[in-house]
Amino acid sequence: MIGPNTDSTLGRPKENRVLENKKILLIVAGGIAAVKVPDLIRRLRERGASVTCILTKGGSQFVTPLTLASLSGNKAYQDLFSLTDEAEMGHIRLCREADILLVAPATADIMAKMTVGIADDLATTALLATDKPVMIAPSMNVMMWTHPATQANLQTLKTREVQVIGPGAGDLACGEVGDGRMAEVPDIIAALSRHFQKSRGEGPLQGYRAVVTSGPTHEPIDPVRYIANRSSGKQGHAVAAALANLGASVTLVTGPTNEPAPDGATIVKVETAAQMMKACSEALPAEILVCAAAVADWSVAGQTGQKIKKGDKAPALKLAENPDILATLSQPGPERPALVIGFAAETENLITNAQLKRASKNCDWIVANDVSTGSGVFSGDANTVHLITADGVEDWPTMAKRAVAERLAERIAKFAERNL
**Residues designated as active site:** 174
Return the HEC string of 147-210: CHHHHHHHHHHHHCCCEECCCEEEECCCCCEEEEECCCHHHHHHHHHHHHHHHCCCCCCCCCEE
Q: Which residues of 275-305 are buried (b: 16+ CB within 10 A; e: fewer)?
A: bbbbbbeebbebbbbbbbbbbbeebbeebee
Is the CA virtual torsion 371, 374, 378, 384 positive or negative? negative
Are 238 and 264 in contact, with CB atoms under 8 Å apart?
A: no
Question: What does DSSP assign to residue 36?
Answer: G
Residues 6 or more apart from 186 whose CB is under 8 A from it? 43
- Terminal alpha carbon distance of the chain: 27
Rg of the chain's alpha carbons, rounded to an integer?
A: 24
Measured CA to CA in angstroms, residue 226 lies from 23, 305, 332 at distances of 54, 13, 34
Are 161 and 195 in contact, with CB atoms under 8 Å apart?
A: no
Question: What does DSSP assign to residue 1?
Answer: -
Closest-CA residue to 395 (of 411, 384, 382, 383): 384
Residues in the chain: 420
User: What's phi and psi for 104, nearest 5 deg?
Assistant: -150, 115
H-only helix segments in 4-121: 37-46, 65-72, 83-86, 90-97, 108-116
